[in-house]
Structure 1
Amino acid sequence: MFQRLVALLFITAVLSEPECSRFHYEEQTLNRMIRQEIAMEKLQADMAATQQQVLDALGKLTETTKQLREEKIKLEHVANVSAEGTNKSVRNFSAAEIEKLKGPTVAFRSKDLVDKTPSAGDTLVFKTTTLNEGLGYDNKSGIFTAPVAGTYTFSVQLYVHPEHNMYYAIIADSVEINKGLFADKAYMKSYTAETVAVLQKDSKVYMKCSSGSGNLLTSDAAWNTFSGVLVHL
């Protein structure tokens, strides 16, 4: 700043000199030097401010990176502890408990009609039970009683005597859930029907001759069957 003061005094002292004199030339040169010096100082100040901003940003980035690394370590620890606890819980289950978690198995399959010439309203009773998981099917009454609530599927296969037919219905809790007609003109053929029902515990399902009368056949190679299975709790 002292140098600038001297320069200004010098400029004042030579103002009376003619413009084309040596002093006028030196005055202009000195003015340019002062402006350049001021511009340089401003540039240095701006660079210093920018450098500080960069350093501050780097500092914040370093701190954020550190925090993220610490959070990652914590999450990995929690995940490992959770997985270890789950594995221990699974290992502590007995075979019976694991089977219980899977849910019950309910399925039945029956054959051999007691009455092959049923009348309208008669329940079809299949006397031979070849599968009865859950003990839901009664081969004395022909009625399946659901041991647990869930979604079940039922299927029937019947062989109709040639030149005869039979109207059938599958009943669940006194409601017809599937019905139709099986008819044979010339040959002994098998006819099948399927249906699905959502049942409550102790719901009753059976099959009946719904109209007229039926005339069915059976042999070692041709079975009349009624079956069902729990598909979802």
Structure 2
Amino acid sequence: MQRACAVFVLLLAMSAPGATRGASHEPRYKSEFTYDEQLLEKMIRMEAEMDKWETRMNEQLGQLTSLREHIDHLMKTEDSRLELIKEAYVESRNNLTALLSRADSQVQQLIEKIKKETATTPNILFKARRVKNETPSAGEIIVFEDVLYNHGSGYDRSSGVFIAPIGGTYLFTARLLSQSGGSVFFEINVNGSMNSNGALYGHQGHSYASADSVVRLLHGERVIIKSLYLNTIDNGSRLYGALASQSNEFTGVLLHV
């Protein structure tokens, strides 16, 4: 409305006598009223056009505002989605890392287990024969002085004592052969205690007394063959001392570490 008033005042000023026509010119209109009417009519049309343009601009501004709000909403929605995606990614990555860590640990444990189960057992093995004393007394260590092999150097041929080079499960066997009519009583002694024993009494001809033992030893523990009783060799009989297939023997082997 203020624009319309300003235009109207401007048009009135232009329509004043002498403002648009010189004194020496003839008027182009029949009367000043006709000129004013036409001028006012133009002003009204201009104001209408301006109103239309203002309406269109307001509509376009409204559309732009709506579009901007929609874009803002989409951006906020996308930010929320991105945040959710980021959180899900971080959680999945952490879960995957933990899963891989557990899998690595389980695989490592399995590898260690397989290594233990398939590890080569050290070659600890000995075999000795031919007793040093054919008439041992009660409590005496029976020494086998002819050593066929002694892998690991656990058996001492001078003392008859086996000392475990490493800890593990061992198998020991002893076989003693008496002369005809004699008796044999002995034990496999582990760290000072009887673990197994063998006996032979009142037989005819050469006969064996044997014993075996599976024991778990620690490094440095001792195993011996010990004679039992005062009359170990009854009636003056003796252990058979010949180096032949019937000879006395003491063996040991590491089964598992």
Q: What range is the shorter-chain TM-score in? A: 0.5 to 0.7
Instruction: Tell whether 2:249 aligns with 1:225.
Output: yes
Q: Aligned partners of 1:179 and 1:104: how far apart in 2?
A: 28
Tell me the matched-pair count: 140
Instruction: Tell whether 2:176 aligns with 1:158.
Output: yes
Structure 1 residue 222: Cα displacement = 1.6
Structure having the higher Rg: 2
Mapping of 1:100-119 within 5 angstroms? 101-119=119-137
Q: Given that residues 196 and 213 in structure 2 are in contact (C-alpha distance below 8 angstroms), is that contact kept between their aligned partners in structure 1?
A: yes
Runs of 4 or more consecutive aligned structure 1 residues displaced over 6 Å after TM superposition: none
The aligned counterpart of 1:143 is: 161
Structure 1 residue 182: Cα displacement = 1.9
The aligned counterpart of 1:213 is: 232
| SS at 1:102 equivalent | coil
Structure 1 residue 163: Cα displacement = 1.7
TM-score (norm 1): 0.55
Structure 1 residue 177: Cα displacement = 0.2
Mapping of 1:1-233 within 5 angstroms? 101-211=119-229, 212-214=231-233, 215-219=238-242, 220-233=244-257
Looking at secondary structure, tell me which structure has more strand per residue: 1
Q: Aligned partners of 2:201 and 2:138: how far apart in 1?
A: 16
Root mean square deviation, CA, Å: 2.5
| SS at 1:164 equivalent | coil
Q: Aligned partners of 2:204 and 2:154: how far apart in 1?
A: 37
Residue identity (%): 28
Q: Given that residues 188 and 211 in structure 2 are in contact (C-alpha distance below 8 angstroms), is that contact kept between their aligned partners in structure 1?
A: no
TM-score (norm 2): 0.50
Once the two structures are superposed, what CA deviation does each residue of 1:50-86 show, in whole Å capped at 9, x if it has no partner? xxxxxxxxxxxxxxxxxxxxxxxxxxxx9xxx9xxxx
Structure 1 residue 188: Cα displacement = 0.6
Structure 1 residue 184: Cα displacement = 4.8
Structure 1 residue 157: Cα displacement = 1.1
Q: Given that residues 160 and 184 in structure 1 are in contact (C-alpha distance below 8 angstroms), is that contact kept between their aligned partners in structure 2?
A: no
Q: Aligned partners of 2:161 and 2:187: how far apart in 1?
A: 13
Q: Given that residues 162 and 184 in structure 1 are in contact (C-alpha distance below 8 angstroms), is that contact kept between their aligned partners in structure 2?
A: no
Q: Given that residues 188 and 212 in structure 2 are in contact (C-alpha distance below 8 angstroms), is that contact kept between their aligned partners in structure 1?
A: no
| Unaligned segments of structure 1, at least 5 residues | 1-77, 83-100
Q: Aligned partners of 1:105 and 1:206: how far apart in 2?
A: 20
Q: Aligned partners of 1:112 and 1:180: how far apart in 2?
A: 18
Q: Aligned partners of 1:195 and 1:134: how far apart in 2?
A: 19
Structure 1 residue 130: Cα displacement = 0.4
Q: Aligned partners of 2:130 and 2:228: how far apart in 1?
A: 19
